[in-house]
Amino acid sequence: MLKYLRILLCISIGVILFSSCGSYQKIPYYQDLDHTALSTSEVKNYVPLTIQRSDILGINVTSKSPESSALFNFRTNGNIGDNAPDNPITGFLVDENGEVHLPLVGDMKVLGLTTSEFRSKLNARMVNYYKEAVVSVRVLNFRVAISGDVQRPGIYNVQNERITVTQALTLAGDLNITAIRNIVLIREQDGKRQFIPLDLTSKQIFDSPYYYLRNNDEIYVQPDRTKYATVDRGYRTATILLSGLSIIAIVLSNLYR
């Protein structure tokens, strides 16, 4: 009897190890990348951030008349990007027509422009009002949302104009071990909502036109069945039964020694 119990134990261990190895193949990122040698690729898919409707623009103007040019300058009560109720973002809203209304200048069409392009246009207008004016522009409410099977799901404010899918996931503490490596990017564009699958197990993600995120992008990370199994009643019931069978096996082993 003891001999059969040992055989059963060995088979069980083998099944567990085999299952673990099989699951591990789904976990590493960039599996088709050669990790033993240096490799390079040209960045061809980066497109600069462009101004969209509902963006809040932070504009700073410095000149030889700081008191008058200060009326352009945005202010916050704390850190820029912290859009808490007690610290609202103060800037210039891009309306539904893709325009922003500015003091002295009036309405300017900014939809689809990069911040650099808008800065150049605004700087050209500023020479009519200020001497040696220097203009800076940034999008204050650039943020991405990350939900699903990650360490820290939430909405993350982006301090610059360039963030990638993998950088955003890093902000959220990376994927949990139980997460499926095929994630979904949700993007609203031109009145349509797109659901874009991205495969983290392949290095091809670096060449994807969706690798660089835009304002208000959302990333969803789906958990695999292992995550569900940890809370599933049937799984817990099976665990209890297995524990009971193990106790019976130990008792029988002692009886037949």
pLDDT confidence bin for 67, thresholds 50/70/90: confident
pLDDT digits (tens, 9 = 90+) for 143-176: 999 999 999 999 999 988 999 999 999 999 999 9
Name the most confidently modeled range: 2-6, 7-11, 70-74: 70-74
Q: Where are the domains of the chain?
A: 2-25+227-255, 56-139, 143-223
Topology (CATH level 3) of domain 56-139: wza like fold (3.30.1950)
Residue 101, pLDDT > 80, answer: yes
Q: Which segment of 1-10, 36-45, 118-127 scores lowest on mean pLDDT?
A: 1-10
Between 81 and 235, whose confidence is greater? 235
Other beta carbons within 10 angstroms of residue 92's beta carbon come to: 20
Burial 27-49 (b: 16+ CB within 10 A, else e): eebbeeeeeeeeeeeeeeeeeeb
Once rounded to an integer, what is the mean pLDDT over residues 189-202?
94
pLDDT digits (tens, 9 = 90+) for 21-39: 446 778 899 999 998 999 9
CA distance 14 to 20: 10
pLDDT confidence bin for 110, thresholds 50/70/90: very high
Residue 77, pLDDT > 50, answer: no
The pLDDT, as a whole number, for residue 250 is 62
First to last CA, the chain: 8
pLDDT confidence bin for 83, thresholds 50/70/90: very low
pTM score of the predicted model: 0.75
Topology (CATH level 3) of domain 143-223: Outer membrane lipoprotein wza fold like (3.10.560)
The residue among 65, 47, 130, 58 whose CA lies nearest residue 94 is 58
The pLDDT, as a whole number, for residue 256 is 59
